[in-house]
């Protein structure tokens, strides 16, 4: 699928505002989200029926040219098929904007494309399954790309196609000033509803001349390493190549703080009349009190997510603005939580509460904004097991050992600080201070790291971490590999 190319000197930034719609607008937004889900599910049903029919015909011995014609899986092909069927299957389609149905079809086209490439081995990462049907209890959202999309002059209203002018909870002056000055152009607007029932509007904006603020002074430690963890006192430990600790950011532990309230609410919901009867194994109309309890559960989760996101945004913004080179780990966060069951559910919950993958994601685009370089250490680079004093490696280091004691030089240092220092030194050998570096996953440092005891030697840069980004990125910068010669 063709991706949008960001012009040189510009970046794509999102401005997200909480909406305060009137009841009529709430019903319209819900109708748009429902139309998106209906178009997605209907076309998925059609695609599955054709695939099953072709499989059955092949079992009969028919030739390939005699099989039932397969509808195209691209967005234009799905949209053309939907336009032929919508008058019959959805006579109410005119009540919503065409962008509502385009949102569902675009999601289906992306899912089919990812599944097809994964089967052919053209897509890196874990195998992608066939697209599934969207549930009414899932995330509700719709994306507008055409029509009237703007922020009003009073700085407290936004206008969307078919929905009209909606009030916002906060001022839109930052975005409005950029639009008035001609340094920002709106690409799209995505309206979504969170688990607490509040609607938000996120504007995707093409911003020119994005640079580091004048008040954000560079730190004297240009190159740093960031070690992440799940401990309450060490969500991020920032170290310098000379072995000094620059900062230690505490974890908010927002999910842990609301566990008692969630336990009470979830037990209350289990005693109420829900949408499923476990005795007759049938669906039923949920009670009003069950809906109220579910709303409270959603608001509790939303608050925990907001507290966590606030801490991560403030910390990553400060790092990207104050330092020139930032080295982070490449963690398989999904694999860290994939096994163990009830025996490690406490660790799995702590990993989810820390949101370690979001730290690297935020640093990816913020370093591009503020002219910094993000270096990603190779996944198996032994930053924790390596002594920052002599370079020797400790083969066995359990999670309970919070201090690193070297058996060769006798050095004793905090475990997380030791890893941060090693990461900082690795980034120092792969990037040049003051160089405008790539965004996204960043260059991968430490390829070819050995897995046995001995002195650690940082290998040459060997490529980018495999990923499939869905957001527009700068062509020629996202995923660019910085070689050892160019970084010298």
Query: Which residues are designated catalytic?
Result: 227, 329, 416
How many CA atoms are closer than 13 Å to the CA of 467, on its beta-carbon side?
19
Q: Are 438 and 480 in contact (CB under 8 A)?
A: yes
Q: Tell me the pairing of strands 444-445 and 373-377.
A: parallel
Checking 357-361 for CB contacts under 8 A at 24+ apart, the result is 357/331, 357/333, 358/309, 358/312, 359/226, 359/228, 359/236, 359/312, 359/315, 359/316, 359/328, 360/328, 360/329, 360/330, 360/331, 360/441
Q: What is the distance between the alpha carbons of residues 10 and 320, in angstroms, rounded to a whole number?
A: 18
Give the CA angle between residues 75, 43, 79 to the nearest 5°: 30
User: What Rg do the C-alpha atoms of the chain give, in angstroms?
Assistant: 26
CA-based torsion, 141, 147, 152, 157: positive or negative: negative
Q: What is the distance between the alpha carbons of residues 484 and 157, in angstroms, rounded to a whole number?
A: 50
Q: What is the distance between the alpha carbons of residues 68 and 46, in angstroms, rounded to a whole number?
A: 13
Q: Give the closest residue to 372 by CA, choosing from 427, 323, 425, 329.
A: 323
Q: Give the closest residue to 189 by CA, choosing from 154, 153, 155, 162.
A: 162
CA distances from 442 to 49, 92, 128, 417 (A): 42, 47, 24, 22
């Amino acid at each position: 699928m063709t991706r949008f190319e960001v012009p040189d000197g510009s970046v794509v930034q999102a401005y997200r505002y909480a909406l305060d719609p009137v009841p009529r607008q709430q019903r319209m937004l819900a109708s748009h989200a429902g139309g998106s889900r209906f178009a997605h599910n209907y076309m998925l049903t059609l695609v599955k029926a054709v695939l099953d029919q072709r499989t059955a015909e092949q079992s009969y011995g028919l030739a390939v040219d005699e099989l039932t014609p397969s509808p195209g899986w691209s967005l234009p092909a799905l949209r053309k098929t939907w336009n032929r069927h919508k008058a019959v299957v959805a006579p109410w389609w005119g009540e919503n904007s065409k962008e509502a149905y385009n949102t569902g079809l675009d999601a289906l086209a992306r899912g089919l494309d990812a599944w097809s490439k994964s089967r052919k081995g053209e897509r890196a990462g874990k195998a992608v399954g066939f697209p599934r049907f969207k549930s009414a209890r899932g995330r509700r959202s719709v994306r507008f790309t055409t029509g009237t999309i703007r922020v009003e002059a009073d700085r407290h209203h936004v206008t969307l196609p078919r929905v009209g002018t909606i009030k916002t909870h906060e001022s839109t002056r930052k975005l409005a000033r950029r639009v008035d000055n001609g340094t920002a152009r709106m690409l799209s607007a995505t309206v979504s509803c969170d688990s607490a029932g509040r609607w938000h509007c996120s504007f995707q904006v093409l911003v020119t001349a994005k640079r580091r603020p004048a008040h954000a002074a560079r730190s004297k430690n240009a190159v740093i390493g960031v070690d992440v963890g799940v401990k309450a006192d060490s969500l991020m430990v920032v170290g310098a190549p000379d072995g000094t600790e620059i900062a230690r950011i505490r974890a908010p532990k927002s999910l842990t703080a609301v566990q008692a309230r969630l336990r009470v609410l979830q037990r209350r919901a289990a005693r109420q009349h829900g949408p499923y009867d476990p005795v007759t194994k049938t669906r039923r109309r949920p009670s009003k009190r069950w809906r109220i309890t579910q709303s409270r559960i959603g608001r509790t989760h939303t608050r925990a997510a907001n507290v966590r996101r606030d801490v991560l945004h403030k910390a990553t913004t400060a790092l990207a603005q104050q330092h020139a080179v930032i080295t982070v780990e490449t963690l398989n966060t999904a694999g860290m939580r994939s096994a163990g069951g009830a025996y490690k559910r406490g660790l799995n919950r702590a990993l989810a509460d820390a949101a370690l993958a979001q730290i690297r994601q935020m640093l990816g685009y913020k370093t591009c904004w503020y002219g910094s370089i993000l270096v990603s250490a190779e996944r198996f680079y032994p930053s924790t097991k390596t002594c920052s004093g002599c370079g020797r490696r400790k083969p066995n280091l359990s999670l309970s050992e919070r201090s690193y004691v070297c058996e060769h030089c006798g050095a004793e240092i905090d475990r997380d600080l030791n890893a941060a220092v090693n990461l900082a030194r690795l980034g120092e050998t792969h990037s040049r201070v003051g160089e405008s570096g790539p965004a996204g996953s960043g260059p991968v440092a430490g390829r070819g790291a050995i897995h046995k005891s001995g002195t650690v030697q940082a290998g040459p840069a060997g490529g980018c971490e495999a990923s499939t980004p869905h957001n527009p990125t700068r062509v020629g910068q996202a995923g660019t590999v910085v070689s050892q010669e160019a970084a010298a």
